[in-house]
Amino acid sequence: MQAKAAPSADFRRALAQYATGVTIVTTLAPDGTPTGLTVNSFSSVSLDPPLVLWSLSLRADSLAVFRECEKYLIHVLAVDQLEIAKRFATRGADKFGPTAWRPTDDGLPLLEGCTAWFECGNRSQYEEGDHVILVGRVEAFQTIGGAPLIFHNARYVSHLAEEPLPPVLRARWD
Ligand SMILES: Cc1cc2nc3c(=O)[nH]c(=O)nc-3n(C[C@H](O)[C@H](O)[C@H](O)COP(=O)(O)O)c2cc1C
């Protein structure tokens, strides 16, 4: 359907055609409570300086914590972390209780089993519409690798197309 002023459901359906990975962003609340949520709005912004972004709903319970925190950790999820993705997308759930994690030297909650993580300074925020865009300066990161969890058309997807793409589509751009 083509729509100029798309009603919300149609707009969501169109956006959902864009396949993404799945991340979990975590930090510590001022009282030391581990805090986090599932996020697929993650994107790279800049290589030098190293910047990434994600957007957070103004209705999220964790909004105040992420607006105020100094640092957060972004975890790129592996395909076998489906249950963790669901748990961290559930408002009011016991997110950290049943999850394998350990504190970093800074005390941030680092989830085990992800394919990569980025430790970010909370650099800038831009409120737009019903979300706030958070730009993070990457201060540390680790690549672990492995099969990614994918989100497409409002569903978690476990594997990419079997057919390898022609090499030109996989070329580096630098
Ligand atoms: C695959 C997936 C991706 C999501 N991406 C985002 C996102 O980018 N930003 C956001 O604010 N919420 C996103 N959510 C919704 C939050 O994970 C969910 O509302 C969560 O319960 C918010 O936690 P909180 O209210 O405890 O802060 C996503 C949910 C799913 C299932």
Per-residue pLDDT of 51-81, as tens digits, reads 999 999 999 999 999 999 999 999 999 999 9
CA distance linking residue 136 with residue 54, whole number of Å = 8
**In testing the pocket of ligand 1, which one of 20, 56, 57, 94 has its CB within 8 Å of the most ligand atoms?**
57
CA distance linking residue 55 with residue 124, whole number of Å = 12
- What lies within 8 Å, CB to CB, of 19 at 6+ separation is 150, 151, 152, 157
Q: Is the pTM of this model over 0.85?
A: yes
Q: Cα of 172 to ligand 1 centre, how many Å?
A: 31
Report the nearest-CA residue for atom 18 of ligand 1: 89
Class of domain 8-43+63-119+138-158: mainly beta
Report the nearest-CA residue for atom 16 of ligand 1: 89
